[in-house]
Amino acid sequence: MNSADWGWDMQDQIPPGDTVVPLICSSDETPLTNNSGDKKGWPISLTLGNIHWSIRTRPKWQAQIILALLPIPPKLQGTPTERLSIKKSRSIMLHDTMHKVMSPLRQYQEGISTAELWNCANGKTRRCWPILASWVANHMEHANLMATMLNSCPRC
């Protein structure tokens, strides 16, 4: 979704007359408590790319919905071997959870489902294809989601 070509490429892949609805997910680690411990959460939110950025980025317009609020476990303790084992199990749990949270969208990405009929603002009903277009997160969260090393380049 970084260029206009992406939109045209997606539009060419669906039947004529249908509409691409680009979905933008975002995530950011958030503290849940103040001065009472190490409680953090990881909200996963969703918005539509068809909404203008000036509306989409303002909380008062409520253009984003929370898909999930994942808990962040406390800091690791123990020997290096134990910590490595815990890190691996946490990574597996994260990917299993994300698979479940994003599973309704997978049917469109894999071409299993047909388009949804949605009512538009002009009163017409359109066949729409929701497609995950972008994930907004910092480098550390992208590294967790892609199961790459934190200090490595995501392209390499």
From residue 6, give the alpha-carbon distance in Å to each of 9, 57, 58, 95, 96.
5, 22, 25, 27, 29
Give residue-wise pLDDT tens across range 49-107: 888 888 888 888 888 999 999 888 777 777 888 878 888 888 888 888 888 988 887 77
**pTM attached to this predicted model:** 0.77
Number of Cβ within a 10 Å radius of residue 130: 22
Instruction: Report whether pLDDT(135) > 70.
Output: yes
pLDDT at position 156 over 80: no
CB 132 within 8 A of CB 109: yes
pLDDT bin (cut points 50, 70, 90) of residue 112 is low
Give yes or no for residue 21 having a pLDDT over 80: yes
The confidence score (pLDDT) of residue 8 equals 85
Question: Sorting pLDDT into bands at 50, 70 and 90, what band is 141?
Answer: confident
The whole-number pLDDT of residue 155 equals: 64
Structure token pair of residue 72: 């962040």
CA distance 86 to 77: 10
Average pLDDT value for residue range 34-50: 82
